[in-house]
């Protein structure tokens, strides 16, 4: 059973209750309950294979796309059951956007990458302004404003990842899920992503999966430690890293296993 240390009460933006996910007959996560507060950054940490990505993907129904995946328990977004009949997973993913480990821009121009989502959603406002705003929010505008119509694939890896963040922001989401967003990047590009996450939480709720404890300590307000499919401990990041309540958390953060 997870120990939760004064995670703020009140309505959570996202909430899992007794959530288990199975791939075929084996459980990847078991009985996880967690609340994600608004305008905060929450990090999921734990050794490889402990279920961080699986848990993350439940929050925008990405596991629906994994053959053989099945969930038990509840996931709520602002109080509404995300898995209720009639809920459109495409709309869920618009509100709860996702950024993946490897930057995956479309083989299109920088502009078209950002304009793509709003266009399919029938956006009727000023698309140029939306593209600029999204690129500014992703801290990329100054680097690309003079070459918006060049291929996104010519950008560096770090720029491509910020472009993917701009693309996610362009559909005006509420939450961003990030699955190891900097693990394929060099240290300078990583720092830009971390600075950006810090800025983003003013307007968005962010959940980040990271295998880097240093990164979790730098960017997150709350940290959840998972181990073998269970949520072991969840609380304010400074407490988790300085004064964890559970022995296994301490063993992990002090590097005794991992």
Contact segment (CB under 6 A) with ligand ADP among 42-50, 71-79, 128-136, 192-200 equals 42-50
Query: Residue 23 or residue 83: which is nearer to ligand ADP going by CB?
Result: 23
Residues 88 to 107: which contact ligand ADP by CB under 6 A?
Answer: none
The closest alpha carbon to 133, from 114, 147, 160, belongs to 114
Q: Which of 7, 43, 45, 50 binds ligand ADP (CB under 6 A)?
A: 50
Site size for ligand ADP (CB under 6 A): 12
Nearer Cβ to ligand ADP (62/140): 62
Strand bridging mode 175-179 / 14-23: unpaired
Q: Applying CB under 6 A, does 16 fall inside the site for ligand ADP? A: no
In terms of CB distance, is 8 or 49 closer to ligand ADP? Answer: 49
Three-class SS of the chain: CCEECCCCCCCCCEEEEEEEEEECCEEEEEEEEEEECCCCEEEEECCCCCCHHHHHHHCCCHHHHCCCEEEEEEEEECCEECCCCCCCHHHHHHHEEEECCCCCCCCCEHHHHHHHHHHHCCCCCCHHHHHHHHHHHCCCHHHHCCCCCCEHHHCCHHHHHHHHHHHHHCCCCCEEEEECCCCCCCHHHHHHHHHHHHHHCCCCEEEEECCCHHHHHHHCCEEEEEECCEEEEEEEHHHHHHCCCCHHHHHHHCCCCC
Closest distance of CB 227 from ligand ADP, Å: 9
Taking the CB of residue 103, how many other CB atoms lie within 10 A of it?
A: 23
CB of 99 to ligand ADP, least distance (A): 15
Query: Which of the residues 203 through 232 are near ligand ADP (CB under 6 A)?
Result: 209
Of 32-40, 41-49, 155-163, 166-174, which part binds ligand ADP (CB under 6 A)? 41-49
From 49-57, 111-119, 148-156, 192-200, give the range in contact with ligand ADP by CB under 6 A. 49-57
Question: Does 61 sit near ligand ADP (CB under 6 A)?
Answer: no
Quick one: which of 37, 51, 105, 158 contacts ligand ADP (CB under 6 A)? 51
Q: Which is nearer to ligand ADP, 48 or 85 (CB)?
A: 48
Member of 65, 66, 120, 154 binding ligand ADP (CB under 6 A): 66
Check binding of 28 to ligand ADP (CB under 6 A). Answer: yes
Strands 175-179 and 205-209: parallel
Q: Which of 48, 125, 255, 257 binds ligand ADP (CB under 6 A)?
A: 48
Q: Which among 30, 56, 73 has a CA at the least distance from the CA of 230?
A: 30
Least distance to ligand ADP, CB of residue 179, Å: 8
Would you tell me which residues interact with ligand ADP (CB under 6 A)? 23, 28, 46, 48-54, 66, 209
């Amino acid at each position: 059973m997870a120990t939760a240390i004064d995670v703020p009460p009140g309505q959570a933006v996202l909430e899992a209750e007794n959530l288990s996910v199975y791939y075929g007959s084996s459980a990847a996560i078991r009985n996880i309950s967690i609340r994600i507060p608004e305008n905060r950054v929450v990090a999921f940490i734990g050794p490889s294979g402990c279920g961080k990505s699986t848990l993350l993907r439940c929050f925008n129904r990405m596991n629906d796309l994994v053959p053989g995946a099945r969930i038990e328990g509840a996931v709520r977004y602002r109080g509404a059951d995300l898995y209720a009949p009639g809920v459109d997973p495409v709309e869920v993913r618009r509100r709860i956007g996702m950024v993946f480990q490897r930057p995956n821009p479309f083989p299109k121009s920088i502009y078209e990458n950002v304009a793509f989502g709003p266009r399919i959603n029938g956006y009727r406002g000023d698309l140029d302004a939306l593209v600029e705003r999204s690129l500014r929010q992703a801290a990329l505008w100054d680097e690309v404003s003079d070459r918006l119509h060049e291929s996104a694939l010519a950008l560096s890896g770090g720029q491509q990842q910020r472009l993917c963040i701009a693309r996610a922001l362009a559909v005006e989401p509420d939450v961003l899920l990030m699955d190891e967003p900097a693990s394929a990047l060099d240290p300078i590009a990583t720092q830009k992503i971390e600075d950006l996450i810090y800025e983003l939480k003013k307007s968005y709720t962010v959940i980040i999966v990271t295998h880097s404890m240093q990164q979790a300590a730098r960017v997150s307000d709350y940290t959840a430690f998972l181990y073998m499919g269970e949520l072991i401990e969840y609380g304010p990041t400074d407490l988790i890293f300085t004064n964890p309540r559970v022995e296994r958390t301490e063993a992990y953060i002090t590097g005794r296993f991992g």
